[in-house]
Structure 1
């Protein structure tokens, strides 16, 4: 008798949960990229930097990252973690 082979694909709920966790891990890198974009801006017509526009951009980016983290956390709280035996037997989320 042969042993049954495990399925080739993960369950939809655990796959979705892992992708949301991946998005939460990438959020700080995205935030760093968003905060460094104003460094690349050049002044419009004057040699002085456009501090008002850059300040508004930074606060909007900061607010957007907070909202994204809040939404990702809510989605992760609603999904239930996979059982320990379905996650590879060790119970850790990779």
Structure 2
């Protein structure tokens, strides 16, 4: 006789908590990739790059990453029901 299998799906609060932690883990990677985007832009006429445009992009991206981290951080502290804080 085979033992009963674990359920395929987890409870929604646990699922949301895991996806939120995944988003917090991937945020720095996405930010690093997006910081490299200005290197892919075409130079302007005469082959010169627009440092003003690049700088504005980087500061807006930096601010957006700060806001995203600020929105994610408070909810990372909340534990979903039926979880043990000592579990990894």
TM range (shorter): 0.7 to 0.9
User: What CA distance in whole angstroms lies between the structure 2 residues aligned with 1:47 and 1:3?
Assistant: 68
**Which structure dedicates a bigger proportion of its chain to helix?**
2
Q: Which residue of 2 aligns with 1:69?
A: 69
Structure 1, unpaired ranges of 5+ = none
User: What CA distance in whole angstroms lies between the structure 2 residues aligned with 1:47 and 1:5?
Assistant: 63
Instruction: Give the counterpart of 2:87 among 83, 87, 91.
Output: 91
Q: Would you say how many aligned residue pairs link Structure 1 and Structure 2?
A: 86
After TM superposition, give the deviation of residue 5 of structure 1 in Å.
Answer: 4.9
User: What CA distance in whole angstroms lies between the structure 1 residues aligned with 2:83 and 2:51?
Assistant: 51
SS of the equivalent of 2:42 reads coil
Q: Which residue of 2 aligns with 1:55?
A: 55
Root-mean-square deviation (CA, aligned residues, Å) is: 2.2
After TM superposition, give the deviation of residue 73 of structure 1 in Å.
Answer: 0.7
Structure 2, unpaired ranges of 5+ = none
Q: Which runs of 4+ in 1 moved over 4 A?
A: 2-5
TM-score by length of 2: 0.82
User: What CA distance in whole angstroms lies between the structure 2 residues aligned with 1:27 and 1:74?
Assistant: 15
After TM superposition, give the deviation of residue 8 of structure 1 in Å.
Answer: 2.5
After TM superposition, give the deviation of residue 44 of structure 1 in Å.
Answer: 1.9
